[in-house]
Amino acid sequence: MRKLKLDELNRATVDEFKAQQKLPVAVVLDNVRSLHNVGSVFRTGDAFAVEQICLCGITGTPPNREIEKTALGATASVNWSHFASTLTAVQQLRNDGYVIIAIEQAENSTMLHQFEPGPGKKYALIFGNEVNGVDDEVMQQIDACIEIPQFGTKHSFNIVVSAGIVLWDFFSKLNLK
């Protein structure tokens, strides 16, 4: 078996990416501290062609050298905006017709494998701070909460791992059935 070379991957240009159909998902980063996590979420968002990324509160924004180390140029392809607070972003996304979903461990959460995104709906997926998770005030404004099942001794995944798992799940359920 031979690995493909970069020029054999037939990746879209930034202009082609901007014009292509997107996964009906907005990724919301709620006060994410690590610039490397932010960059990795951009790269993951690019891979699954999300509509946009909302950077909230203290979450770093491009242009930033530390974000680019892991984004590898995805800050140019994925639409993004910054909001002073996650609550402001949630209100804007709700006004734009998004279903607001926290990715969090919470009472009455729905396990990821049991959640079925509906066709024709748009989803705003909120990923929280590395230490505190999704802010408690934001949790009061959500429509649903999805939890990723875990079976080990640790209490959580890294935010980038969570984003990858959830975005793959949404992509596969909406596009690969």
pLDDT band at 31 (very low <50, low <70, confident <90, very high): very high
Token digits of residue 84: 């002073």
For 88-108, the pLDDT digits (tens) are 999 999 999 999 999 999 999
Q: What is the average per-residue pLDDT within 140-166?
A: 97
Is 3 domain-assigned? no
Is 15 domain-assigned? no
Say how many domains are in the chain: 1
How far apart (Å, rounded) are the C-alpha atoms in residues 83 and 103?
19
Amino acid at the residue 19: A
Q: What is the CATH number of the domain that holds 171?
A: 3.40.1280.10
> Tokens 């690590």 sit at which residue?
34
Specify whether the CB–CB gap between 111 and 15 falls below 8 A: no
| Per-residue pLDDT at 177 exceeds 80 | no
User: What phi, psi does 158 have (nearest 5°)?
Assistant: -60, 145
pTM of the complete model: 0.97
